[in-house]
């Protein structure tokens, strides 16, 4: 068996930090999710996470005007040039310091980067074939503090840069006679946004204290005069970093000699608007929909946390309240205020227009108590994207119709558990924020959220019908949710308050059981009546895992007391068998049961223990079939506060989540590390190891001690200026919450295999990661011979030898070729071909037809094939149902999804 699953999508995390941006057509939104980026197609309602990663979390994203490439910059200043076409990294470049902003010019020939108090302008990659696509053109000086924002003019000949020194500077990207650098002041706080007007040098600047200045230039955009000798002095990064003073002095002398006597452009402030709000981010649309034939006004977004008093005696404004608000203001052109006023509000005063339109959308804006950290307009100015890193929320708002185009939010405090629906179309997740979310695997979007729990959700399960979700929580309740009416229709509680850490649902969906952390008991309820049926007492330590057998009402409960008890639920209720998984000797204390799971046929039970061992037990005889030592496969990184090596710290780790594959031939395990391991059950060998995350922004990712963080007193993370030494508590995985800054550790809280056998998912600190067989093309031949070639297969198809051509195409396993051969078969010959098809090809053909149904327009043709196969080979498929159950569920998933799509029409 080959485990050729590749990363397919990251679900559950829609936004982490950094800026969001639209691709050139405005129909797709790019959002950074940790060290990856996700593309949200707003027209087809789908999401996709690219399989490219950076070393640290992404803080800046710049998309080229043609939408083919993008530059991603992480927290350490390392830039990655990626291609949206090939979905791969083309080049990497390290700026050596953190970057605040990066932006392409409108013509796509250059891009600018803010680095400390400098602005670096590079040639845009992709224009020419070069060994180093990041070629520095020029370094611009002048700022007295860090630069924070950039905006280009429409013709890409000038750009504006705002910074922490409360000034906005307009630079000429090429040498001009009437513009070198122009400084705009009048602000009392740092600049958070500067925006040129379309086809003009007029500029809008706004600062963090909520002040907006409108600057009018006395020169039109086409009035920029090129210098007589447009000579650019090439500065390399080594020169500008080592000899900054010398280069800056030389540039200043050249400018003083040649350009001081020539007329310069002048700016004049024509308006100032003050809003008593604390600005965190601001955005202006690039091209706005015209409201009249005279002028297209700019649409401005203002947002931020309301003003908070710095001192106790200072009072906030009357309308201030916690939470973030955003509004849209239409700023008319200062040259024609009367016409815009009459169109928008009937007033003759430009100031009254601004007051009237201060919040065009109204106060829809109370998104949350967390601040908005990113915003962007699309090309037409109709859609507005907002991101909040505190909530992990991403919104796309159509402000004219006052409706949401996209509204997605992940779990704010991490995920804890997951489960697949019986047909594999949906995934349900539970989080530390007490929410239960249901995600669609086809488009990656969450379509329903249940918020009834008041504490961490510890387990979620689908019933066999797929229409009911069961969840347990530390708040002492087990709840049942209806996916038809989207409501909580049952709530199960125990006689005494208990915290439920695990849960199981039987195959019929009539019984639900939950294990307690406090009383060491297992409670069993009836889903139909909501009554407590039984309390199973037998464990001497907290119950860690519960699992019902797929074939009978047999409940397996694992506990920290190193035992697994098989309970018979029903008429012959009581303990059927007790399995002692502990070893004799001193190591028996490390044999606490962490997870149990049944095989698909219910005949075998897998148990994971604290000593990093997975044991397999026969359910009928309660005998051990074998074990796998996972101690050297778990792997672990070195944390910042660890005093031991990574190899030493890996001892004591274990797998907390287990799941059999659809056919039961392998088992997948995840735990307190970044690795998910797959073991072959029969051979007891490691098949493959998946590294869930490569993000060094998390703690515990380093394999070895970083010498750069070593001081004469030891690692820098261990040096604390406080007198009290802070020691990390055992088992804490989120860091010290009282510290000013802490990093989460990568861990896998749950793994689950899809019933279709085509994909599996894992919930981790990164989010919900899905690995699929459909993510890439894998060459997997079947009984391949030397004489089987694409040419011979096409020749057989043309000679109307359809049966032989179909079998040869499956031996070559080329999907386009299989599709070509099948589509060449006349519909009248389908039943005869299916009757003559050998049994070894039946499940392969059925699986291929199920995957083709999702994208092929020949729906009736595929349904004829499926009906003929199921009619002619039904007894054969039933005889080996254990092997083809994944294929049949894949067929069911495709049929259900296609049926829902057609019913909507």
Per-residue three-class SS string for 248-267: HHHHHHHHHHHHCCCCCCCE
Q: pLDDT for 80-138, tens place per residue?
A: 999 998 889 999 999 989 999 999 999 988 999 999 899 999 998 876 677 778 889 99
Per the structure block, which two tokens stand in for 714?
């030891």
pLDDT at res. 500: 94
Please indicate, yes or no, if residue 279 is contained in any of the structural domains: no
Q: pLDDT for 477-517, tens place per residue?
A: 999 999 999 999 999 999 988 899 999 999 888 999 999 98
Closest listed residue to residue 152, CA positions, set 206, 207, 111: 111
Q: Where do runs of H (alpha helix) occur along 288-417?
A: 337-344, 350-356
* Cβ pair 517, 499 in contact under 8 A: yes
Please indicate, yes or no, if residue 475 is contained in any of the structural domains: no
Query: Residue 879's CB: how many other CB atoms inside 10 A?
Result: 11
More confident residue, 890 or 284: 890
Residue for token digits 């990066």?
102
Closest listed residue to residue 271, CA positions, set 210, 332, 218: 332
Residue for token digits 């977004």?
301
Please indicate, yes or no, if residue 87 is contained in any of the structural domains: no
**Average confidence (pLDDT) over 839-859:** 85
What's this model's pTM, rounded to 2 decimal places? Answer: 0.77
The answer to whether residues 874 and 825 belong to one domain is yes
The answer to whether residues 760 and 866 belong to one domain is no
Which sign does the torsion angle of CA 334, 335, 336, 338 carry? positive
Closest listed residue to residue 421, CA positions, set 445, 438, 444, 408: 438
The answer to whether residues 810 and 755 belong to one domain is no
The answer to whether residues 756 and 853 belong to one domain is no
Strands 604-609 and 532-537: unpaired
Q: pLDDT for 746-799, tens place per residue?
A: 889 999 999 888 889 999 988 899 998 865 544 455 656 667 788 888 888 888
Q: Where do runs of H (alpha helix) occur along 523-645?
A: none
Here the CATH number for the domain that contains residue 842 is 1.25.40.190
pLDDT at res. 499: 92
Please indicate, yes or no, if residue 746 is contained in any of the structural domains: yes
Question: Is residue 422 packed enough to be buried (19+ CB in 10 Å), middle (13-18) or exposed (0-12)?
Answer: middle
Provide the domain count of the chain. Answer: 2
- Flag the least confident range among 498-512, 641-655, 794-808, 832-846: 641-655
- What 8-state DSSP symbol labels residue 277? B
Alpha carbon of 644 to those of 561, 639, 706, 712, 720: distances in Å? 29, 9, 13, 18, 19
- What 8-state DSSP symbol labels residue 693? -
pLDDT at res. 768: 92
- What 8-state DSSP symbol labels residue 530? -
* Cβ pair 572, 632 in contact under 8 A: no
CA distance 282 to 221: 24
pLDDT at res. 319: 34
Alpha carbon of 49 to those of 39, 92, 774: distances in Å? 6, 20, 14
pLDDT at res. 708: 67
The answer to whether residues 794 and 894 belong to one domain is yes
* 571 contacts: CB under 8 Å, gap ≥ 6: none
CA distance 211 to 666: 62
* Cβ pair 532, 499 in contact under 8 A: no
User: Across the beta sheet with 88-94, what order do the strands follow?
Assistant: 58-63, 69-74, 78-83, 88-94
Here the CATH number for the domain that contains residue 664 is 2.130.10.10
CA distance 244 to 589: 64
The answer to whether residues 683 and 807 belong to one domain is no
Kindly report the CA angle at 862 between 859 and 864, in degrees rounded to 5? 110
Residue for token digits 């006349």?
826
pLDDT at res. 526: 92
Q: pLDDT for 1-36, tens place per residue?
A: 567 888 889 988 999 989 999 987 788 999 999 899
Please indicate, yes or no, if residue 809 is contained in any of the structural domains: yes
* Strand, helix or coil for residue 373: coil
The answer to whether residues 794 and 888 belong to one domain is yes
Question: Is residue 27 packed enough to be buried (19+ CB in 10 Å), middle (13-18) or exposed (0-12)?
Answer: middle
Give the side-chain half-sphere CA count within 13 A for 244. 10
The answer to whether residues 700 and 675 belong to one domain is yes
pLDDT at res. 119: 94
pLDDT at 324 over 70: no
Longest CA–CA separation in the chain, Å = 102
CA distance 598 to 576: 16
Please indicate, yes or no, if residue 169 is contained in any of the structural domains: no
* Cβ pair 790, 816 in contact under 8 A: no
The answer to whether residues 796 and 760 belong to one domain is no
The answer to whether residues 861 and 824 belong to one domain is yes
The answer to whether residues 769 and 814 belong to one domain is no
pLDDT at res. 453: 94
* Cβ pair 856, 901 in contact under 8 A: no
Please indicate, yes or no, if residue 823 is contained in any of the structural domains: yes
- Flag the least confident range among 292-306, 454-468, 690-704, 823-837: 292-306
Closest listed residue to residue 544, CA positions, set 577, 570, 522: 522
* Cβ pair 307, 315 in contact under 8 A: no
The answer to whether residues 754 and 865 belong to one domain is no
More confident residue, 779 or 364: 779
Structural domain containing residue 809: 790-904
Kindly report the CA angle at 211 between 205 and 212, in degrees rounded to 5? 40
Closest listed residue to residue 802, CA positions, set 831, 839, 780, 782: 831
CA distance 504 to 548: 6
Please indicate, yes or no, if residue 107 is contained in any of the structural domains: no
Per the structure block, which two tokens stand in for 797?
């198809």
- Flag the least confident range among 306-310, 479-483, 578-582, 743-747: 306-310
Query: Residue 199's CB: how many other CB atoms inside 10 A?
Result: 14
* Strand, helix or coil for residue 841: helix
* Cβ pair 766, 34 in contact under 8 A: yes
CA distance 133 to 109: 12
CA distance 663 to 672: 26
Residue for token digits 């944390």?
639
Alpha carbon of 496 to those of 149, 406, 483, 493, 533: distances in Å? 58, 43, 30, 8, 15
- What 8-state DSSP symbol labels residue 223? G
- As a residue count, the chain comes to 905
Cα 594 to chain centroid, rounded: 28
* Cβ pair 719, 709 in contact under 8 A: no
* Cβ pair 482, 491 in contact under 8 A: no
């Amino acid at each position: 068996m080959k485990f050729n699953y590749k990363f397919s999508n990251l679900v559950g995390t829609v936004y982490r930090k950094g800026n969001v941006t639209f691709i050139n057509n405005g129909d797709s939104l790019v959002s950074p999710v940790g060290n990856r980026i996700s593309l949200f197609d707003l027209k087809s309602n789908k999401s996709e996470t690219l399989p490219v990663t950076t070393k640290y979390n992404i803080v800046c994203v710049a998309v080229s005007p043609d939408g083919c490439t993008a530059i991603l910059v992480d927290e350490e200043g390392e830039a990655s040039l990626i291609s949206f076409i090939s979905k791969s990294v083309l080049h990497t470049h390290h700026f050596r310091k953190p970057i605040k902003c990066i932006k392409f010019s409108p013509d796509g020939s250059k891009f600018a980067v803010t680095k400390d108090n400098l602005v670096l302008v590079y040639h845009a990659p992709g224009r020419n074939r070069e060994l180093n696509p990041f070629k520095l053109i020029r370094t611009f000086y002048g700022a007295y503090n860090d630069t924070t924002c950039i905006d280009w003019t429409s013709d890409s000949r000038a750009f504006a840069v705002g910074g922490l020194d409360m000034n906005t500077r307009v630079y000429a990207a090429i040498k001009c006679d009437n513009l070198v650098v122009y400084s705009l002041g009048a602000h009392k706080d740092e600049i958070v946004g500067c925006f040129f007007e379309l086809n003009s040098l007029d500029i809008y600047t706004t600062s963090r204290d909520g002040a907006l200045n409108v600057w009018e230039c006395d020169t039109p955009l086409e009035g920029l005069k090129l210098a007589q000798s447009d000579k650019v002095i090439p500065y390399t990064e080594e020169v500008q970093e080592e000899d900054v003073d010398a280069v800056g002095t030389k540039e200043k002398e050249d400018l003083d000699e040649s350009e001081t006597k020539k007329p310069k452009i002048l700016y004049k402030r024509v308006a100032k608007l003050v809003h008593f709000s604390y600005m965190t981010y601001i955005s202006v649309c690039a091209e706005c929909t015209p409201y009249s034939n005279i002028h297209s006004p700019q649409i401005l977004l203002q947002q931020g946390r309301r003003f908070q008093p710095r001192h106790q005696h200072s009072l906030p404004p009357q309308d201030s309240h916690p939470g973030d608000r955003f509004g849209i203001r239409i700023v008319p052109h200062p040259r024609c205020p009367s016409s815009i006023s009459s169109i928008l509000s009937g007033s003759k005063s430009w100031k009254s227009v601004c007051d009237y339109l201060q919040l065009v959308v109204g106060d829809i804006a109370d998104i949350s108590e967390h601040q908005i950290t990113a915003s962007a307009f699309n090309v037409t100015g109709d859609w507005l994207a907002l991101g909040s890193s505190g909530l992990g929320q991403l919104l796309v708002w159509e402000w004219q119709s006052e409706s949401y185009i996209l509204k997605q939010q992940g779990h704010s405090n991490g995920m804890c558990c997951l489960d697949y629906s019986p047909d594999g179309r949906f995934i349900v997740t539970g989080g530390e924020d007490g929410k239960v979310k249901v995600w669609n695997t086809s488009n990656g979007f969450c379509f329903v959220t249940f918020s009834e729990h008041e504490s961490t959700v510890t387990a979620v399960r689908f019933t066999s019908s797929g229409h009911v979700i069961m969840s347990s929580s530390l708040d002492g309740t087990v709840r049942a949710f209806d996916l038809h009416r989207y409501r909580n229709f049952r709530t199960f509680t125990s006689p005494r308050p208990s915290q439920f850490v695990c849960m199981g649902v039987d195959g019929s969906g009539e019984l639900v059981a939950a294990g307690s952390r406090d009383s060491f008991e297992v409670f069993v309820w009836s889903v139909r009546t909501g009554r407590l049926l039984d309390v199973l007492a037998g464990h001497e330590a907290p119950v860690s895992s519960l699992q019902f057998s797929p074939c009978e009402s047999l409940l397996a409960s694992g506990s920290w007391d190193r035992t697994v008890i098989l309970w018979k639920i029903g008429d012959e209720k009581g303990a059927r068998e007790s399995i002692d998984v502990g070893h004799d000797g001193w190591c028996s204390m490390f044999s606490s049961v962490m997870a149990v799971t049944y095989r698909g046929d219910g005949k075998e039970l897998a148990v994971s223990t604290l000593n990093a061992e997975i044991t397999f037990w026969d359910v009928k005889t309660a005998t051990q079939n074998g074990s796998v030592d996972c101690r050297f496969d778990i792997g672990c990184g070195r944390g910042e506060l660890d005093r031991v090596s990574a190899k030493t710290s890996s001892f004591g780790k274990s797998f907390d989540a287990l799941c059999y594959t659809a056919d039961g031939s392998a088992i997948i395990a995840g735990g307190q590390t970044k690795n998910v391991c797959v073991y072959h059950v029969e051979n007891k060998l490691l098949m493959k190891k998946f590294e869930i995350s490569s993000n060094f922004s998390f703690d515990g990712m380093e394999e070895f001690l970083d010498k750069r963080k070593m001081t004469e007193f030891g690692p820098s993370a261990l040096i604390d200026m406080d007198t009290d030494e802070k020691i990390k508590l055992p088992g804490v995985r989120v860091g010290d919450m009282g510290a000013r800054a802490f990093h989460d550790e990568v861990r896998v809280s749950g793994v689950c295999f899809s019933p279709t056998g085509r994909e599996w998912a894992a919930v981790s600190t990164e989010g919900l990661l899905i690995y699929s067989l459909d993510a890439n093309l894998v060459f997997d031949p079947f009984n391949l011979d030397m004489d089987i070639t694409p040419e011979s297969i096409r020749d057989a198809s043309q000679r109307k030898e359809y049966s032989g051509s179909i079998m040869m195409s499956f031996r070559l396993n080329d999907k386009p070729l299989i599709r070509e051969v099948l589509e060449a078969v006349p519909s009248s010959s389908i039943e005869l071909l299916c009757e003559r098809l050998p049994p070894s090809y039946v499940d392969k053909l059925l699986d291929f037809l199920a995957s083709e149904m999702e994208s092929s327009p020949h729906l009736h043709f595929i349904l004829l094939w499926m009906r003929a196969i199921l009619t002619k080979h039904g007894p054969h498929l039933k005889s080996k149902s254990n092997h083809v159950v994944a294929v049949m569920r894949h067929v069911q998933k495709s049929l259900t999804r296609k049926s829902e799509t057609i019913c909507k029409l």
